[in-house]
Amino acid sequence: MKNKFTSHLVKNKPGKKKYTWYTEEDMVELYEFYGELFGDSYTNLHEIVSNDIHLDVVIYKPSISRQYWTLVTMGAGSHPMKTTMYDSGGCNRVELVMTLPMDWHLYLPGCDDVASTERCYWPIRWLKDMGRVLISNDSYLDEGHTMEMADWKVKESQSGFSSLLVIGPVIDSKSEPTYFQFSDGRRLRLLQVTPLYKEELNHKVNTTSDNLLNMFDLNWHVVTIGRPNMCLQKEQ
């Protein structure tokens, strides 16, 4: 089934700094590309008010080859990264991917239990926060970068995780660079993100991201509440 896409363009508020947004044509092209990778979308969490970039999160159902929910940003790549240190593909634009287990209760509008909602919603909130780090820090994202979350977000998630790590995307269990080119020639890269415990973040900072990743199993990229802390395991 071909993915259906409906665009909702919301203008920047008057007096605010102007940011580059995707055109409707851009979003249709990117949505079709996502469909080729992830299948039929479940829903598009459309951002109602955008003070900088317009950042949606598209959610894809589990499949036989990808037995987990897939969350993908749409909007982070509309604003080019401010850096000359582009990755090997020559990209200065990125979109972010996060995967959740099949039994994850995704947040949907209308949920009355605020505490329960945040326990379900925090991956989406964190994903969007990282998508906006390019704006807030006027910087760039690449493999091995981490973002530590605010204490209140860590507490309300009730997940035990404290940060996000950027890696290469896991598409059908293959860690390969995944690029997309718009019809006008602009290119972007998909990057997977996954949460870390505080001890894992410290280990990565003190060594390398590759050193940390070597501790995980094949399905480590899927967000799993209560998974073993790799660094605490190492100490035992």
| Count of alpha carbons within 13 angstroms of residue 119, beta-carbon side | 12
Neighbours of 203 (CB within 10 A): 19
Instruction: Write the CB contacts of 17 (distance below 8 Å, at least 6 apart in sequence).
Output: 52
pLDDT on residue 55 = 92
User: pLDDT of 90-106, one tens digit each?
Assistant: 688 999 999 999 888 77
- Outline where DSSP puts E strands in 102-233: 146-148, 163-167, 170-171, 174-175, 178-181, 187-196
Average model confidence (pLDDT) for the chain?
Answer: 80
- pLDDT (tens digit, 9 = 90+) per residue, 128-175? 999 988 777 777 788 888 999 999 898 888 899 999 999 877 665 555
pTM: 0.84
Quote the pLDDT of residue 32: 94
